[in-house]
Amino acid sequence: MLKVAKFLRLPESTVFGVSTFYAQFKFSPTGRKKVRLCRGTACHVRGAPRILDEVEKHLGIKPGETTDDLEHSLETIACFGSCALAPVIVVDDNVYGRMTPKKVAQILGNAKSN
Ligand code: FES
């Protein structure tokens, strides 16, 4: 950020403010596969908390974290816009609807727990 601020001739606080405002900017490496779990209302009432528990157990990480091998990152989202398929999980660009805890292992494969 110091280099960017110097290059753009902006205060470091401005660069820091922008980089912390947008979720697309990360301060630590993310996993090769992005696992996003919807926690919107429809998904919540249809079991998203149980799916999240299973994903956390399977990967050994919490939302906002990345596995030690940098293979998976886990995020939660407010609503993916596919409420009819609730509960929904998205791995990279693949959308998995009507999730169950049992399907987690099938979708995430033999991802190692930390
Ligand atoms: S609440 Fe999950 S897709 Fe809309």
Q: Give pLDDT tens digits for 2-41.
A: 999 999 999 999 999 999 999 888 888 899 999 999 999 9
15 and 42, same domain (yes or no): no
Q: What is the pLDDT of residue 113?
A: 47
Distance CA 87, CA 107 (A): 14
Q: Write out the H or E segment, with its range, that includes residue 82.
A: none
Q: What is the pLDDT of residue 24?
A: 82
pTM of the full predicted structure?
0.81
In this structure, the residue with its CA closest to atom 1 of ligand 1 is: 40
DSSP-derived secondary structure for 18-61: HHHHSTT--SS---SEEEEEE-SHHHHHTTHHHHHHHHHHHHT-
Q: What is the pLDDT of residue 111?
A: 56
Is 58 in contact with 99 (CB distance < 8 Å)?
no
> How remote is the CA of residue 97 from the centroid of ligand 1, in Å?
10
Q: What is the pLDDT of residue 18?
A: 94
Q: What is the pLDDT of residue 114?
A: 45
Number of domains comprising the chain: 2
Report the relative pairing of strands 89-91 and 33-38 from DSSP bridges: antiparallel
Report the relative pairing of strands 33-38 and 94-96 from DSSP bridges: unpaired
Range in 21-30, 58-67, 71-80, 92-101 the model is least confident about: 21-30
58 and 93, same domain (yes or no): yes
> How remote is the CA of residue 48 from the centroid of ligand 1, in Å?
10
Inform me whether the pLDDT recorded for 56 exceeds 90: yes
Tell whether ligand 1 has an atom less than 6 A from the beta carbon of residue 79. Answer: yes
Q: Write out the H or E segment, with its range, that includes residue 106.
A: helix 101-108
List the domain range (segments joined by +) for residue 1.
1-27
Inform me whether the pLDDT recorded for 96 exceeds 80: yes
Phi and psi (nearest 5°) for 33?
Answer: -110, 130
65 and 86, same domain (yes or no): yes
